Structure 1
Amino acid sequence: MPPQDSRITCRIDVLLSERGMTLTELADRIGLSVINLSILKNNRAKAIRFTTLTALCDALACSPGDLFALREE
C-alpha cells in the first residue's frame, strides 16, 4: 500500500501575509534557511522539530494550531 499524503497543511504563507513579513525575514529571525522554510511552507516537509515549531510560534506570535490546518479528505 503506497504511503498517503499528509492531510496536515502549513499556513505560514497566511500568517506571513497577515504580519507583513517575508519568508526571508522569518528565516533570519528563527535561524532557519529559506529553503527549509519553503519546504515547510509548501507542504513538502515530513516532520518538524519542536524547537523549530517553538521558534516559528515566537516569531509569528501564534500557536501551533495557527500554523497548521487539517485538510478535508
Structure 2
Amino acid sequence: MENKFIEALQEALEMEDQEVNFSDAFRDYDTWDSLSRLSLIAVLDSEFDVQIEDEEFAKLITVQDLYDAVMAKQ
C-alpha cells in the first residue's frame, strides 16, 4: 500500500522521477502549488476513495501525515 500511495503522490505532484520520503514536508516540493493540491485531493479520492476536508488537510505536514490520514479513512 505504501508504494501505491507514493506513486499516486508522485503522479499528482508530477514528480515521477524524484524520490519521495515519508519524512518530507510535501508542501516544500518544488512542484507544490494550488493546482497540485487539487490534483492530490483528486488522486486520493480516485485511487483510495478517501476525501480529506480542507480543515484536516491544512494540519497535514509530512508525507507520513498524509499517508496516515488516508489509511485511517480506509
Same fold (TM over 0.5): no
The structure carrying a bigger helix percent of its residues is: 2
* TM-score (norm. length: structure 1): 0.41
Of structures 1 and 2, the one scoring higher in RCO (CA 8 A, sep 6+) is 1
* TM-score (norm. length: structure 2): 0.41
Larger radius of gyration: 1
